[in-house]
């Protein structure tokens, strides 16, 4: 089943994001290589694909896991969590219709 991992950043998270981004992307690439990643990306802080120093306010990952518990464990181990980028992370089942 797919799960949506909805993350909200702390204020002024850009420096922490930049520092831990390579490790964060490596985990997403691993999911993609296993054909389990449906989509992933950040929420820009402003209405722009390149927000520059405005940074980001969160992220969305939709991926396939065997259970909600496995999705939550994967989300909890994100390098952005370790680096203190995220203020809140919510994991929910996701039903793809289109």
Q: Give the pair of three-digit tokens for residue 84.
A: 């203190």
At residue 54's C-alpha, the angle toward residues 37 and 50, to 5°, is: 55
Q: Give the pair of three-digit tokens for residue 56.
A: 């980001």
> Which is nearest to 39 in space by CA: 74, 71, 4?
4
Q: What is the pLDDT of residues 3-46, one digit of tens each?
A: 999 999 999 999 999 999 999 999 999 999 999 999 999 999 99
> Which is nearest to 56 in space by CA: 95, 1, 15, 97?
15
Q: What is the pTM of this model?
A: 0.95
């Amino acid at each position: 089943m797919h799960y949506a991992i909805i993350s909200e950043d702390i204020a002024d998270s850009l420096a922490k994001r930049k520092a831990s981004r390579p490790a964060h992307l490596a985990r997403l690439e691993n999911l993609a290589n296993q054909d389990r990643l449906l989509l992933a990306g950040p929420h820009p802080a402003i209405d722009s694909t390149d927000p520059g120093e405005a940074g980001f306010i969160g992220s969305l990952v939709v991926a396939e896991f065997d259970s909600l518990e496995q999705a939550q464990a994967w989300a909890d181990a994100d390098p952005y969590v370790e680096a203190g980028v995220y203020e809140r992370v919510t994991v929910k089942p996701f039903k793809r219709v289109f």
